[in-house]
Amino acid sequence: MATKVIMPKLSPTMEEGQISRWLKKEGDKVSMGEPLAEIDTDKATMEMQALGNGVLRKILIGEGQSAPLGQLIAVIGEPDEDIAALLSEAPAQPQVQDQKEADVPPKAPDVAQPQPQLQDQKEADRPPSAPNLAPANGRQPEAAGSGRMIVSPLAARMAAEAGIDLRSLQGSGPGGRIIKRDIEAVISKPKAAPAPSYVQQAGASAYRDEPASQIRQTIAKRLVTSLGPVPHFFLTTEIEMDRAAEMRKGINALDPDLKISINDIIIKVAAAALIQHPQVNASFQEKIVRYYEHADVGVAVAIEDGLITPVVRAADQKSLSQIAGEVRELAERARSKRLKPEEYTGATFSVSNLGMFGIDEFTAVINPPEGAILAIGAMSAKPVVRENEIVIRQMMRVTMSCDHRVIDGATGAKFLQTFKKILENPLYLVV
């Protein structure tokens, strides 16, 4: 019997998916649980598994094309089965198909070829179990149709405890069931980097090509829309941090559980300064300038294969302890890739801190459509002149990148002045 392949729900927020590439061609044999295609969601590329056995009879959505959840995107069936009735269910998309074929005709053969070993490996690993099971049990695990994930109870519990997203896994059990050993494989080697094979070339350095991850591609796309089209200018100032550091120590001494960091104080101070300077808490959007009521501060977090900026909403209205708790929780989930899209988009201003790497100062690239970003350097003891005497102070250099379309030099400078004033005298926060 023919199996409908529909666009599966691969993330909780996904509404449509884009076919990144088909791993099978029309006419290829497929069996239950085999990877069929790679699908791009907003933040990740996920493998879609076949939920039936037979031949990939028809691909309805080509590479690079999108389809909403639940839409028929392909049909698996017997080689000689009549699938006309199924195909008639599909929304008419002949041009899409034609366009795709006209645009990239040489691509089709590429599809299956780039990863022949991968396929073979999988073949060796898995399929024997699925067919073998059928006679033993008299039936296949019920997974067909709904795009439902099959996972053993133990594996589900282990994944929940380890914070592993089951959708990111390929099950090695019968019918693609995710089992204990699949979870253990992820836990034991968090990044099972496939042994990199380097391309040797005479007279030049060897190299290896790795497909850019979805997040890397997103970073690239976003940033060329920034530094190119967005006219940046940079303002740098040096801030005396002794009082802020003292305040942090004082607060944490009150309650060691608070664990307030200097960065949390910076977020709080930036939010306060933004409210005083609404021109900076703004965004240039073609014919309008948008001013925001609250300071939603994005905090750049380095993750395994890139960076992401979870947002502290309305930081101007939150207490330091709230900000600290939220940042810690968001950063943790960012590292395990469990942020929801609404948690890392729509900031009004961002803070990027490389102080922990000993960077004295740097410039950051604006995350459009935000109007500015503040780059924080390391805090270090330096000799400075105070009342004609050389004294030692904790100094920190910050550089603000501004979008000149909304923020002028003087506007930015005034904001930075306020920021510096509050940070040097954090008592202003309570005044």
Partner 1 sequence: MAIITIREALNQALREELARDEKVFLMGEEVAEYDGAYKVTKGLLHEFGSKRVIDTPITELGFAGLGVGAAMAGLRPVIEFMTFNFSILATDQIINSAAKMLYMSGGQFNIPIVFRGPSGSAYQVSSQHSQAIESWYAYFPGLKVVMPSTPADAKGLLKSAIRDDDPVIFMEQERMYGQKGEVPDDPDFTIPLGVADVKREGTDVTIVARSLTVPLALKAAEQLQEQGVSCEVIDPRTIRPLDIDTIITSVKKTNRVVIAEESHPICGVGAEISAQLMERAFDYLDAPVKRVSGVDVPMPYAKNLENLAIPDVNRIVAAVREVAYLD
- Restricting to residues 98-137, which ones interact with partner 1 according to CB under 8 A? 128-129, 132-133, 136
CB 156 within 8 A of CB 192: no
Q: Which is nearer to partner 1, 18 or 152 (CB)?
A: 152
The secondary structure element, H or E, covering residue 153 is helix 153-162
Distance from CA of residue 112 to its chain's centroid? 27
* Smallest separation, CB 160 to partner 1 (Å): 10
Verify binding: residue 157, partner 1, rule CB under 8 A.
Answer: yes
**Of the ranges 89-97, 154-162, 199-207, 375-383, which one interacts with partner 1 (CB under 8 A)?**
154-162
Verify binding: residue 155, partner 1, rule CB under 8 A.
Answer: yes
Beta carbons within 10 angstroms of residue 329's beta carbon: 11
Is the sign of the CA dihedral 339, 340, 343, 345 positive or negative?
positive
Q: Which is nearer to partner 1, 180 or 386 (CB)?
A: 180
* Smallest separation, CB 133 to partner 1 (Å): 8
Buried/exposed code over 368-382 (b: 16+ C-beta within 10 A; e: otherwise):
bbbbbbbbbbbbeee
Taking CB under 8 A as the criterion, the residue among 31, 65, 152, 218 binding partner 1 is 152
Taking CB under 8 A as the criterion, the residue among 94, 106, 135, 153 binding partner 1 is 153
Q: Which is nearer to partner 1, 35 or 174 (CB)?
A: 174
Verify binding: residue 33, partner 1, rule CB under 8 A.
Answer: no
Verify binding: residue 2, partner 1, rule CB under 8 A.
Answer: no
Burial of 30 (0-12, 13-18, 19+ CB in 10 A): buried
* Smallest separation, CB 177 to partner 1 (Å): 8
Buried/exposed code over 67-82 (b: 16+ C-beta within 10 A; e: otherwise):
beeebbbbbbbeeeee
Residue 294 bears catalytic tag: no
* Smallest separation, CB 127 to partner 1 (Å): 11
Taking CB under 8 A as the criterion, the residue among 33, 173, 175, 377 binding partner 1 is 173
Q: Which is nearer to partner 1, 151 or 379 (CB)?
A: 151
CA–CA separation, 300 vs 331, rounded Å? Answer: 9
Is the sign of the CA dihedral 400, 404, 409, 412 positive or negative?
negative
CA–CA separation, 405 vs 371, rounded Å? Answer: 8
Q: Which is nearer to partner 1, 34 or 63 (CB)?
A: 34
Verify binding: residue 31, partner 1, rule CB under 8 A.
Answer: no
Taking CB under 8 A as the criterion, the residue among 87, 96, 134, 179 binding partner 1 is 179
CA–CA separation, 188 vs 159, rounded Å? Answer: 13
Active-site amino acid positions? 404
Give contact residues for partner 1 (rule: CB under 8 A): 128-129, 132-133, 136, 152-157, 172-174, 179-181
